Amino acid sequence: MSWALRRRLARSRRWLLDHDNRVTFTIIYITLALVLSMAISMFWLVAVVAAHGVIEYWSLGKQGIRDHRLGRTLWHIKLDIMLVLAALWLGLYIDLLFGVAGLSAAARTGAQVSARVLAWQRAIRGVLLSVDEAALAAKAAFGNKSVNGENGAGLRNSPPPPLPWRLRWGWGDRLTVGTSAIFAALILLTPVITDHSVAEALMILGEDLHPWPFGEER
């Protein structure tokens, strides 16, 4: 392996370890999350969030943090998880929200009402995405150094940082966790609250999470 290649790999490793404080990472993350999920399907938003989780999990390991690594990772990307739950909830409740709950079948066809509903769904989803990505951009811009973002060499020789969910929760933590719990409960209660049966709800989720929905009837 050449010296130049090793240098590039070392730079890439440092970039990944400090990804939360890198503006370039935030730009790439925002672009992929917005463009892929809006232009193709929700599957790619889930994929981007999962990729962020994998990077964070790997970064914690390289920093020498071994205890509760999965829990720390999920806590770190909790805002992204809330966004995914909100987008899935929107797909299940969009008919009810616009007063066309009895047209669930038509809303998945080429009917004119379908085009309007799906257009509004994309618009609202875009707003939700923009709010989430604005929060991520602000964190990167202000250089928010969490315990998970400290220098790996220093952490490796020191006691592991405290579990973040056992520390004092800020208003953002409470809002994110509480909202995520509400969205998760609403998704599970879809057959009770809406006119969708369990099978219909699963079908809608399957359509929203299809990686290549083009050519399918909506």
The pLDDT score that the predictor gives to residue 117 is 59
- pLDDT band, residue 144 (cuts 50/70/90): very low
Q: Average pLDDT for residues 150-169, to the nearest whole number?
A: 72
Rounded CA gap, 54 and 9, in Å?
18
Rounded to a whole number, what is the distance in angstroms from the first to the last CA of the chain? Answer: 51
pLDDT at 175 over 50: yes
The pLDDT score that the predictor gives to residue 188 is 96
The pLDDT score that the predictor gives to residue 212 is 83
Question: What percentage of the chain reaches a pLDDT higher than 90?
Answer: 26
Rounded CA gap, 201 and 93, in Å?
10
The pLDDT score that the predictor gives to residue 94 is 80
Q: Average pLDDT for residues 44-64, to the nearest whole number?
A: 90
pLDDT for 119-134, tens place per residue?
Answer: 666 666 666 666 666 6
Rounded CA gap, 57 and 80, in Å?
15
Q: How many CA atoms lie within 13 A of 106 on its CB side?
A: 12
pTM for the predicted model, two decimal places: 0.75
The pLDDT score that the predictor gives to residue 64 is 85
pLDDT at 104 over 60: no
Amino acid letter, 32: L
List, in order, residues 6 or more apart from 68 with CB less than 8 Å away. Answer: 163
The pLDDT score that the predictor gives to residue 55 is 93
Q: Average pLDDT for residues 84-100, to the nearest whole number?
A: 80
Ranking 65-79, 127-141, 151-165, 196-210 by mean pLDDT, the lowest is 127-141
More confident call, 79 vs 136: 79
Give residue for tokens 């399918």. 216
Q: What is the 3 state secondary structure string of the chain? A: CCHHHHHHHHHHHHHHHCHHHCHHHHHHHHHHHHHHHHHCCHHHHHHHHHHHHHHHHHHHHHCCCCCCHHHHHHHHCHHHHHHHHHHHHHHHHHHHHCCCHHHCCHHHCCCHHHHHHHHHHHHHHHHHHHHHHHHHHHHHHCCCCCHHHCCHHHHHCCCCCCCHHHCCCCHHHHHHHHHHHHHHHHHHCHHHHCCCCHHHHHHHHHHHCCCCCCCCCC
Amino acid letter, 162: P
